[in-house]
Amino acid sequence: MPSRVFIIRHGETEWSLSGRHTSRTDLPLTEAGERDARAVGAELRSVEFRLVLSSPALRARRTCELAGPTRASEIEPALVEWGYGEYEGRTTAEIVRERPDWDLFRDGCPGGETPAQVSGRVDRVLARARAQGGNVALFTHGHLAHVMAARWIGLPVLQARHFSVAAASVSILGLARGDSGAPVIALWNSRPGRPPA
């Protein structure tokens, strides 16, 4: 089992700033996003990683590059954001005006991914992280980070709605001390150099 799994959400983009769902649209970081990614790096500099994985999206790769973890990163396609399909580029407020009962974690997105598909991807990444036996860094996206937290502690994807994660945040999944070794959320949504969201 790994010592810890660090989930790092990419820095701010124009669409994350405005609340627009961004999966396959490949946007760069804003100036603030680049600054915050460097702050994440200052926080991670003392951590030795056995494995560093990044989403192939530009915003995640750039965050990883600026954070400068102690080990070279690998691209992991399973770390891409939830496929929003027809909801790409739209805000939650716009979507619920048309579909008031919509819940991403229950319903998924038309033309995009289902909760079961996202859960399968996340479970595969977490299984790989668990097999490393050391610290692992995952540079990824907002809704995927929600699902990682839920799946790490054995909850269904629907329960991922109870987690919130800001741009350029660091969260840590770990194991309880003592005999149980139960999966725990050791740190959630820490924003290096900034107040909590």
> Is residue 95 pLDDT above 70, yes or no?
yes
Instruction: Report pLDDT for 177.
Output: 81
* Number of other CB atoms surrounding residue 27 within 10 Å: 17
Helix (H, G, I), strand (E, B) or coil at 99: coil
Cα 67 to Cα 139: distance, rounded to the nearest angstrom: 10
141 belongs to the catalytic site: no
Superfamily (CATH H level) for 5-190:
Phosphoglycerate mutase-like (3.40.50.1240)
Q: For residues 35-45, give the mean pLDDT.
A: 94
Q: Which of 154, 163, 158 is nearest to 187 (CA)?
A: 163
Annotated catalytic residue, options 76, 81, 88, 113: 81
In this model, does residue 161 exceed pLDDT 60?
yes
Q: How far apart are CA 187 and CA 184, in angstroms?
A: 9
Angstrom CA distances, 2 to 38, 88, 136, 144, 181, stand at 25, 34, 7, 20, 11
The one-character DSSP state at 44 is: H
pTM of the predicted model, to two decimals? 0.94
Res. 118: pLDDT tops 90: yes
pLDDT, residue 50, reads 94
Q: Which helix (H) or strand (E) holds 120?
A: helix 115-130
Name the pLDDT band for 133 (thresholds 50, 70, 90).
confident
Let me know if 14 is a catalytic residue: no
The residue annotated as part of the active site, out of 10, 21, 141, 146, is: 10
Domains in the chain: boundaries: 5-190
Distance from C-alpha of 72 to C-alpha of 69, rounded to nearest angstrom? 7
Helix (H, G, I), strand (E, B) or coil at 9: strand
